[in-house]
Amino acid sequence: MSTRIRQKNRWESYKAILALAIPIIIQNLFSAAVSSADVIMLNSVGQSAVSASSLAVQYTNVLYMIFYGLGTGSTMLCAQYWGKKDLRAIAKVEGIALRFALGFSILFAVPAAAIPETMMRLFTEDQELICLGGQYLRIISISYLCWGVSEIYLSVLRSIERVRISMLLNVTALLLNIILNAVFVFGLFGAPKMGIRGVALATSTSRAVQLIASLVVSAFSKDVKLQFRLMFEKSGVLLKDFVRLSLPALGNDVIWSVAFSMYSVIMGHMGSDVVAANSLVVVVRNFSTVFCFAIASAGGIYIGKRIGANEIEEAKEDARKTLKLTVFTGIIGGVIILIVSPFVIHFATFNETAMGYLKIMLLINVYYIMGGAVNTTLIAGVFRAGGDSRFGFICDIIDMWVYAVPLGFFAAFVLKLPPMVVYFLLCTDEFVKWPWVIKHYRSMKWLKNITRDEI
């Protein structure tokens, strides 16, 4: 093969990955914009509203990670079956995932609606934050059922490379969320001025609209439809495959999410100043990581499709290219944080202590996002595309629950170290697992064709 042809083939993969990544980047940017809008609007209400919403969102984030785990677990199977052009198997996987998503939606919605203050006490002892956060959880709980269904459907659409449709549905809902935030928080156009409750109502309304839009798109889809009857079909061997492959992915995301929520518990018990500073830092980090995580998602879809089509050598090469792109976008993310930090510091209306915390946290995140970018790409993108979800599950149990969370509690409540020292120690979690993650990637043990000839 001539040098020119080899170079053309090499760039074709980059183009294909980026073609999938760009709509995901746009979607993630709008998602980060919603988080920013929440913080910006609540910042005008008061520091307590910002702190309460950031803690209440931790409860919702656990459910989001469950949906993300189910979605990426579905993608593991659907992307490979897409490479095999088996639409019937993809429909069955969608039905299985919907069963689990609706079950978890109910499991989280009931406590959030019935005992929201009790849920908030897991994160803080501050009575004002408990009261405000409880109001947020009670309203947003009604959105969980809509959210679970639409997340699964959009994940399946992405797995068959319908990323533009998925992006359009998400962006529409997110734009509506931002508009309704302003309406309900500030009481525009005659609406009641609801403060933190307005943010929850805006989110719930936009998710309901997103589900309706998904049903409309499904009605005209030729490939994959959103059909609730699929939940009741016999799945046979596919159910076993889903449980074996997807549940470790779900477990991985949940134990990571709960552990990350423990970081908020630790910071929440160190004072509202730390919580307020972290709420802004999370927004900045979300914006700076959209490129990295989009590459992880797009690379995983493309690699899975290659494996399903039995293009194994091409899949190995595409995994290498995905990792290269991730490192590059990780650097971009760090630069973004450096550039926007002065504007964030100028914008914040915090007291002097919280402002000092904010400056240090932003500096730490300049390099911290690189650790998360590489690990997310390999564990949630590349490894899962090859049907390996167990490695990440085991890796994060050890990293988060044997190392990071115990270290954080010990540093904060036994050694009573300063809050920023504790925060720095917590932000070593991603780099501790690098050696094992990279070694597993190089071994190629993660690369498997998990499709079946007959369903």
What is the Cα–Cα distance from 449 to 451, expressed in whole angstroms?
6
Average pLDDT for 274-293: 85
Which two tokens mark 363?
Answer: 């500096």
pLDDT at 278: 86
* Domain regions of the chain by residue span: 21-443
Confidence of residue 2 (pLDDT cuts 50, 70, 90): very low
Query: What's the mean per-residue pLDDT of the chain?
Result: 86
Which two tokens mark 63?
Answer: 């459910």
Average pLDDT for 56-74: 81
SS3 455: coil
Lowest mean pLDDT among 27-41, 123-137, 159-173, 383-397: 27-41
Do 60 and 104 form a contact (C-beta atoms < 8 A)? no
Which two tokens mark 426?
Answer: 């917590």
Residue 203 has pLDDT above 80, yes or no: yes
* Global pTM exceeds 0.75: yes
Which two tokens mark 91?
Answer: 């429909």
What is the Cα–Cα distance from 444 to 21, expressed in whole angstroms?
24
Do 20 and 298 form a contact (C-beta atoms < 8 A)? yes
Amino acid making up residue 288: S
Of all residues in the chain, what percent carry a pLDDT higher than 90? 34
Lowest mean pLDDT among 7-11, 154-158, 276-280, 367-371: 7-11
Give DSSP secondary structure letters for 219-253.
HH-SS----GGGGGS--THHHHHHHHHHHHHHHHH
SS3 319: helix
pLDDT at 3: 45
Q: Per-residue pLDDT tens for 99-151?
A: 999 999 999 999 888 888 888 887 777 788 888 888 888 888 888 888 889 88
